[in-house]
Amino acid sequence: MRKLMAVLSAAVLTATGFFSYHIYSTPYPTAPSETCGTDFHLTAIGPGLDNLSLEDDYAQYQWALKNDGNLSQTEQKLNFASIDDAYIRRGNGRIAAIALPPLGPSNFSAIKTQAYPGIDIHIRDAWAQYESIPNKRPVTVALIDTGVDISHPELKNAIWTNADEIPDDGIDNDGNGYIDDVHGWNFLANTNQIYVGREDVHGTHAAGTIGASKKDGGIMGITDNSYVKIMVLKALGGEEGSGSPESVISAIRYAEANGAQICNLSFGAREVTQEFIDTIKNSSMLFIVSAGNGDIYEIGYDIDKYPVYPASLPFDNVLTVANLLFDGSLDDSSNYGPYSVDIAAPGVMILSTIPENSYGFMSGTSMAAPMVTGAAAMIYSARPDIDLLTLKNILIYSAHRLSPLKGRMISSGMLDVTAALNWDK
Catalytic residues: 145, 202, 366
Instruction: Report the residue count for the chain.
Output: 425
Residue 95: exposure state from Cβ atoms within 10 A (0-12, 13-18, ≥19): middle
Q: How many CA atoms lie within 13 A of 107 on its CB side?
A: 9
CB count in 10 Å sphere of residue 85: 9
DSSP letter (8 states) at residue 206: H
Residue 119: helix, strand or coil by DSSP? coil
CA distance 115 to 118: 9
- Cα–chain center distance at 282: 23
What is the DSSP code string of 285-325?
SEEEEE----STT----BTTTS--BTTT---TTEEEEEEEP
The DSSP letter of residue 59 is G
